[in-house]
A = this chain, B = another copy of it.
Amino acid sequence: MKKNVLVIGAGGVAQVTAHKCAQNNDVLGDIHIASRTVSKCRDIIASIHEKKSMKVDGVLEAHALDALDVEATKALIARTGAQIVINLGSAFVNMSVLQACIETGAAYIDTAIHEDPLKICENPPWYGNYEWKRREACAAAGVTAILGAGFDPGVVNAYAALLVRDWMDETDSLDIIDVNAGSHGKWFATNFDPEINFREFTGQVWSWQNRQWTSNQMFEIRKEWDLPVVGASTTYMTGHDEIHSLSKNLDVPNIRFWMGFGDHYINVFTVLKNLGLLSEQPVRTAEGVEVAPLKVVKAVLPDPSSLAKDYTGKTCIGVLAKGRKDGKDAEALIYQISDHKEAFEEVGSQGISYTAGVPAAAAALLIATGEWDAKTMVNVEELPAEPFINLLNRIGLPSRVKDAAGDRDLAF
């Protein structure tokens, strides 16, 4: 049994996680929020009080922290007595925060792979580049480190494990499908930091096909789906963290990730990319100003956090498995529908932040109760899926399944 949570980061996802931790602080104990910009932590705390998210009276504090500084992070863990650290900072701080956890014994949770700021969109094996190199150190220290515990990666890893175990005897393919059918009402905006958003789509994309890494260009492979609730959806094959861990942990020859994009997004992206405006390499204007074009694009685009209040519509994220069961072809989709407006009303963030932030709080709760306190480094598909799915059903992300037997709630 572990308690007291330190949330690192103060963006839209951190806001959701902090609200969910507060709503369950009878189990989790003290809640601390740390970021380089302490005012953003205070804003989240104000939002938690405004929405009356604290289940019981308790500690809720803001801290200034440079999470690249391992010693400072260790000191904050010690000072707060946090036994669970939820790292929702930029992708660049994963390894320093993990190191602080290994040295203090605190459990570690994150939602996305580590990135080196100097290397854009590294090639697989993604977890092998940084995270898994620390697995033995975690095991030796008895430290629980849960990697990729957002929605995708995260919940979809649990869906994939369930589908392979219970719905199939032999699984041919897993297709992870992420569609945002919502509308922010702006002519164009990215749903999260444009710099990170565009970086994801600038290079090659990787998929696991015929048990091999396969490379394509972004927006090269398009696929239409007919999904529950959101209906007909256009997606493109994209590289994504969980393809790597699932390809190692599940015996499935084809694992692909599909992200929904409208024609308008792709057109704007294509124009910006082809003109060189998504480059991180500085250019020099005729007046002698040196600036990376991508930074200027970021400066003119709407601040993603400003979108939440007007966001309407729904998201659908799921995993479609195809294979054979009892000697027959079989197909099953486990999925989750979230609503942008409901998310904003509950926790002040839009649906995309909501789907990423709730599972991280769920992972913290399962560590607190001991069900996921693995004492080593794991990806979500290696942990028991049932308590996770049941907990998510209760705290805001109900799952459903659609198979030959129909379309119904998923619970255990």
Contacts and interface: CB of A to CB of B under 8 A. Distances in A.
A297 B289 CA distance: 13
Contacts of A271: 188, 267-268, 271-272
A298 interface: yes
Contact of A300 (B279, B290, B295): B279
A120 interface: no
A276 interface: yes
B267 A283 contact: no
B274 A299 contact: no
Contacts of A298: 285-286
A1 interface: no
A275 B289 contact: no
B283 A289 contact: no
A133 interface: no
Contacts of A412: none
Given A274-B188, A300-B277, A300-B279, A289 B295 contact: yes
B267 A285 contact: no
Given A271-B267, A271-B272, A295 B299 contact: no
Interface in A295-334: 295-301
A220 interface: no
A57 interface: no
Interface string A184-206: 00011000000000000000000
A277 to B, nearest CB: 6
Given A188-B275, A277-B277, A291-B291, A283 B296 contact: yes
A394 interface: no
A277 B298 CA distance: 11
Contacts of A290: 289
Contacts of A279: 300
Contact of A299 (B187, B268, B285, B297): B285
Interface in A148-162: none
A293 interface: yes
Nearest to A187: B274
A229 to B, nearest CB: 30
A306 B272 CA distance: 21
Nearest to A186: B274
Interface string A217-229: 0000000000000
Contact of A287 (B277, B284, B293, B295): B295
A291 B297 contact: no
A404 to B, nearest CB: 45
Contacts of A276: 300
A291 B299 CA distance: 10
B283 A299 contact: yes
Nearest to A296: B296
Interface string A100-131: 00000000000000000000000000000000
Given A284-B299, A291-B296, A293-B299, 11 more contacts: A267-B271, A268-B275, A272-B275, A275-B300, A277-B297, A283-B299, A283-B300, A286-B298, A289-B291, A289-B295, A296-B296
23 contacts: A187-B274, A188-B271, A188-B274, A267-B267, A267-B271, A271-B271, A272-B275, A276-B300, A277-B277, A277-B296, A284-B299, A285-B298, A285-B299, A286-B295, A286-B298, A286-B299, A289-B290, A289-B295, A291-B296, A293-B296, A293-B299, A293-B300, A296-B296
